[in-house]
Amino acid sequence: MADTTLNPARCRVWRLILHGEQNPAWNMAVDEAILDAVGAGIAPPTLRLYTWSAMSISVGRFQSISKTINRQACAAMEVQILRRPTGGRGVLHGTDQTLSVALQSSDLPVAGSIPGIYRYLGGGIRVALEALGVAIAAPPIQARNAGAGDCFADVSQLDLVASSGDKLIGSALCRRGSAILMQSSIRHFEPSDAYDVLFVGASSPRSYPLEEVDDETLSAALVRGFESALQVRCTESDLTDWELERAAYLLPRA
């Protein structure tokens, strides 16, 4: 394992936002508002951690809801469907830990390719999971279930997978000018109901290696993981007035 000891002399300062449980639509609007603020140069690189006040599914920016999500089942189970600004497949929220990272491409010490961004930012999550005792295995050589509506059933070489081969994190990217947003869902607690019927296509394994870890411990591990893996210093703050106004404007379309 690489040496991830924090070196204060090399650290850049990131803003840390700890939002806890929030309304589903508000969560998506806030992430997009932060992306716009970072892109406009009025906010620093930002790591945001949050959870969800209700069960919901966020679908990728270009994902077909009619072809990949069972709307009738979602309505029957009172699961809200949201469109997020990033790509990828559908993610079930409500018992997961979600994080977003917004930064300028100039903040990346690696090439700005999609694989490079995933591996760089995903390094913070990997360090956190390993610190919590989760064994990370090599990803599959060939993609599995690439047409599935459920993000966690769709496994590729860029994913973090457990020793069982199960996908641990669902991540997606968005570029807007020089700004980049990554949204990541970490499976935390197992839902009390069977939600496999909400997605069209292959079902994801019901694997939750972090279910014995409490919210505070997981959040703290993620912050430390990003700080050590990316050599940044996270300073807790909150949204600016500009971001709050922008999120309120985006909310009807979230």
Catalytic residue check, 11: no
Tokens 């189970």 belong to 77
Considering all CA atoms of the chain, what is the largest pairwise distance in Å, rounded to the nearest integer? 55
Phi and psi at residue 41, to the nearest 5°: 80, 20
> Count of residues for the chain?
254
Strands, DSSP E only, in 97-145? 97-104, 136-137
Q: Residues with Cβ < 8 Å from 147, sequence gap 6 or more?
A: 154, 201, 202
Among residues 74, 151, 174, 234, the one annotated as catalytic is 151
d(CA 56, CA 249): 21
| Closest among 99, 100, 191 to 150, alpha carbons compared | 191
Q: Which positions are catalytic?
A: 151
